[in-house]
Amino acid sequence: MANSLTEKDVKKLYEDEDILVVQALSWKAVLYYGRNTHLGEDNEGYFPKRDIIDSLKNGEIFFVVDKKTGKKNVIERPWVDDIMIDNEYWGDLEQSSEEFLYLKLKNKKVFKELFGNKFFFLLRKFLKKEIDEKILVNSNPLINRIIIDSEKLMDSSIYLEREEDDGFLDWIGLTEDELWFYKVVQSSNFEFIDSYRFEDTYNSFLIQLYDDLDTENKKTLNQIGKILIPTEKVDFSYEKYVQRVEKIIKDDFPHSYNHIMNDYINEVDYLANRIALNDTNHQLKVFFEQLGFVYENTDLLVTTPRNLLEIYSLVGTPYSSLEETIKKFFESSYSLKGVVEPSWEDYYVYESDAIKELNWEDMNRKIGNELDELLEKITYDDSYQEYLGIVDRLQQKFEFDKLYPTSYDKNIEFKISDVDLVSKKIKVYIRNNQIGKSKVHYFSEENFNKFVNNPELFSIFDNN
């Protein structure tokens, strides 16, 4: 050995008339062969000595020596990947030296044996009980832990963890939309429904709710409807009536309306997220099971040495990295494309299933509290009391939507159509049978009483 280096310092791996390849086993060998490289003593401090010692312990430092020129080139195993082995691309790494390329072209088999990925060989050594599971775990960052099956070592559990944003999802051939959908569902943070889309989907929020309300809540809602539209018969089976009641609540009591709607929407959204999560997890579980993996979550899979050996035989080489081999296997085996392809149709399915699963006992309790508060607000609201007072006084004398003659002139008939909640004006349809004309007019309560008794005071049909 050169310069008193022994077999404990350096191991010769390959030699021909042009180059020599050695593996450094000691710091002394690094200082000798690494002279004029970034690991040599003339560059001491470029890399901390402790890091280089760790690399030595892991058998990761090699040198290629040009025997004709004496030039030495360092190679560190972690820098050598499958792309560099199988292709002509080298990048800007120091390994792209002429000596390095020469070794590849001269004897590719030797090159792969020296610098290819070692996981496959370590896996076989593990199965032969030549190494323990700790060495196999430490050999690859993808392996989280190994649980030994003492009876069948081939069926031991190998836990694979990929701590990336997408976990293993970006390895299984999903489109960008599918990947986004899976990720957002896994976070249980997808908004399947909001108040705007809900109102666009359903003509009336109250219609959607009414049939599922319990007896007490229907009774309270009927009381509210009777107060808000006293001029009409309470009928929550009639869509236009429900829409009128809902509009008044929404416009005049937005806080109560939003509370009721949000209680419902939040519960539907929660259930839709849970259903979607269970559904997508089931699909992922089935997908990975078909390939020999147990799906724990998007970051964690469990497989066996038996399955990994089979995967290597199908898509890998003995020198392929574990990561690239598994990724290639996933992508070539099966794709989830189209299975959970995000579309509004899919969202509606989850939403519809969520509505079916609603706990209406709990929902009625929440909505009941809001309806009770709303009824109390309406009952004690001064503006509503004034409005209800006008309606009550009118109903003591007249039926709404029924024609009556005026006291002064029987040819002039009228009927009360409505009372405006905001202006408190009375909407009146008036018909003059003598001239064959009709008109809608709005009166204050005082002027309406005057009109009924003295219509001649009002020039309603003049200039018509």
What's the CA gap between 464 and 462, in Å, rounded? Answer: 5
Task: State how far Cα 408 lies from the chain centre.
Answer: 73
Torsion over CA: 105, 109, 114, 118 (sign): positive
Residue 443 is inside which H or E element, if any? strand 437-443
Collect contacts of 428-433 with beta carbons under 8 A, ≥24 apart: 430/460, 431/403, 432/461
52-61, 212-221, 309-318, 428-437: lowest mean pLDDT where? 52-61
Q: What are φ and ψ of residue 10, in 5° steps?
A: -150, 150
The pLDDT of residue 186 is above 90: no
Length of the chain: 464
Q: Which of 174, 195, 199 is nearest to 185 (CA)?
A: 174
- Identify whether the C-beta of residue 25 lies closer than 8 Å to the C-beta of residue 13: no
Tell the burial category of 402 from Cβ atoms under 10 Å away from its Cβ (0-12, 13-18, 19+): exposed
Q: Which of 5, 7, 66, 1 is nearest to 37 (CA)?
A: 66
Task: State how far Cα 194 lies from the chain centre.
Answer: 16
Collect contacts of 443-449 with beta carbons under 8 A, ≥24 apart: 445/390, 445/393, 445/394
Reported as a single tens digit per residue, the pLDDT across 268-291 is 888 988 888 888 888 889 889 989
Q: Which among 11-25, 68-82, 145-159 has the top mean pLDDT?
A: 145-159
Reported as a single tens digit per residue, the pLDDT across 124-147 is 989 999 888 998 998 888 999 999
